[in-house]
């Protein structure tokens, strides 16, 4: 597998191993950082790499930096160029995972709003080991963070403290993945992915008021499902709906689309990835790699 050797930090391409921040920088000391995870996919016929939904990820990062009240945040133009440049510099010979992150780099206080620094990195990342077989999930006893405390629609690094606790608990208890409920007791999402379920043939996903990250992949799945003629609903979801659903799957840039084949040890459907999940997995695979002509606007060629 290829190795990342170069990272872009504040516009400078430097050796990956030499990127540095002070431990007391506000971005580290108080977790004041916001990021995006993206993927670049290789087209199997011509070997070209394209970043999937780059513009949507950069727009979400700008929203996050606004809510974080960052001073002089890097512009979308600068970050777009850096993402493409870091890919060219590292020249991966297969799919790549990308991280764009902005953080407060100076030593300061909890209320510091700058100076803001940023990185663009390209990393190898394999597909989930459970991509084909599905995940065993559990409903976590940890509660999903909420908009009036740690806004989930801001992809802040600090938000992942809660996800980490849920994931560690799930793994300790012998599961692959944790599903979190909101403070209102409704299904929100997984620790680092959004969630869909199929109920009576209708594809359902918790709405934007369910303390989810406003996921780019979730929106992609909503479009692909509608194009496939599936009925789709965004609404509140109860915990026990997970137990009686025909299918459940997670989606996100990192996870891509992966079936959940059991929840709290109850099998979902027949306990194997269902036909709608597999149909949407295939549609997603085609659109990210560009083996279909559909949605060229979602792929930025490197």
Ligand X SMILES: Cc1ncc(COP(=O)(O)O)c(C=O)c1O
- Inter-axis angle of helices 54-67 and 216-227, to 10 degrees? 140
The DSSP letter of residue 144 is: P
Q: Closer CB to ligand X, residue 112 or residue 237?
A: 237
Q: Does 217 bind ligand X (CB under 6 A)?
A: yes
**Candidate residues 253, 261, 262, 277; the one interacting with ligand X per rule CB under 6 A:** 253
Give the Å distances, CA to CA, from 48 to 4, 82, 91, 124, 275.
Answer: 18, 18, 11, 16, 30
151 near ligand X, judged by CB under 6 A: no
208 is known as an active-site residue:
no
Contact yes or no for 73/64 (Cβ under 8 A):
no
Q: Quick check: 252 binds ligand X (CB under 6 A)?
A: yes
Return the residues of window 6-25 that contact ligand X according to CB under 6 A.
Answer: none
**Nearer of residues 193 and 197 to ligand X, judged by Cβ:** 193
Check if the beta carbon of residue 141 is closer than 8 Å to that of residue 169: yes
Provide, for the chain, the percentages of residues in helix, strand and coil under a 3-state DSSP scheme, each rounded to the nearest 5: 30, 30, 40
Q: In terms of CB distance, is 260 or 269 closer to ligand X?
A: 260
Other CB atoms within 10 Å distance of the CB of residue 301: 12
Q: Is 193 in the site for ligand X (CB under 6 A)?
A: yes
Shortest distance, position 106 Cβ to ligand X, whole Å: 27
- Cβ of residue 140: shortest distance to ligand X, in angstroms? 13
Minimum distance between the CB of residue 107 and ligand X, rounded to whole angstroms? Answer: 28
Q: Which of 66, 155, 186, 208 is catalytic?
A: 155
User: Alpha-carbon distance 137 to 41, whole Å?
Assistant: 27
Pick the binder of ligand X from 189, 211, 247, 256 (CB under 6 A). Answer: 189
Tokens standing for 178? 């944790």
Helix (H) or strand (E) holding 222: helix 216-227
Footprint of ligand X on 36-95 (CB under 6 A): 37
Q: Is 205 near ligand X (CB under 6 A)?
A: no
Chosen residue from 90, 215, 262, 277 binding ligand X by CB under 6 A:
215
Give the nearer residue to ligand X in terms of CB position, either 119 or 213. Answer: 213
Beta bridge partners of 13: 8
Options 81-89, 110-118, 185-193, 197-205: segment touching ligand X (CB under 6 A): 185-193
Angle between helix axes 54-67 and 76-90 (nearest 10 degrees) is 130
The number of residues making up the chain comes to 302
Q: With binding defined as CB under 6 A, does residue 194 bind ligand X?
A: yes
Q: Interface with ligand X includes 179 (CB under 6 A)?
A: no
The set of residues, in sequence order, having a beta carbon less than 8 Å from that of 3 and lying 6+ positions away, is 124
Which positions touch ligand X (CB under 6 A)? 37, 163, 189, 192-194, 213, 215-218, 252-254
Task: Point out the residues that are catalytic.
Answer: 155
């Amino acid at each position: 597998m290829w190795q990342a050797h170069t990272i872009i930090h504040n516009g400078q391409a430097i050796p990956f191993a030499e990127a540095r921040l002070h431990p007391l920088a506000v971005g580290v000391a108080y977790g004041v950082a916001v990021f995006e995870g993206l993927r670049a996919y290789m087209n199997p016929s011509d070997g070209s790499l394209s970043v999937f939904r780059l513009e949507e990820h950069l727009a979400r990062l700008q929203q996050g930096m606004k809510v974080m009240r960052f001073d002089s945040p890097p512009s979308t133009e600068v970050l777009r160029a850096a993402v493409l440049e870091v890919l060219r510099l590292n020249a991966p010979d297969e799919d790549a995972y990308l991280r764009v992150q902005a953080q407060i780099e100076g030593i300061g206080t909890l209320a510091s709003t700058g100076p803001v620094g940023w990185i663009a990195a390209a990393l190898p990342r394999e597909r989930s080991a459970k991509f084909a077989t599905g995940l065993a999930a559990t409903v976590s006893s940890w509660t999903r963070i909420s908009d009036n405390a740690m806004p989930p629609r801001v992809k802040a690094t600090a938000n992942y403290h809660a996800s980490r606790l849920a994931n560690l608990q799930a793994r300790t208890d012998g599961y692959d993945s944790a599903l979190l409920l909101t403070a209102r007791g409704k299904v929100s999402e997984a620790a680092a992915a959004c969630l869909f379920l199929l109920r009576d043939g209708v594809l359902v996903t918790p709405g934007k008021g369910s303390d989810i990250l406003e996921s780019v992949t979730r929106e992609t799945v909503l479009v692909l499902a509608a194009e496939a003629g599936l009925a789709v609903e965004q609404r509140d979801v109860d915990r026990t709906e997970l137990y009686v659903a025909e299918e459940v799957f997670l989606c996100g840039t990192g996870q891509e689309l992966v079936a959940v084949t059991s929840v709290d040890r109850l099998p979902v459907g027949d306990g194997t990835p269902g036909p709608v999940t597999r149909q949407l997995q295939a549609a997603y695979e085609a659109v990210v790699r560009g083996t279909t002509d559909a949605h060229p606007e979602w792929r930025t060629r490197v």
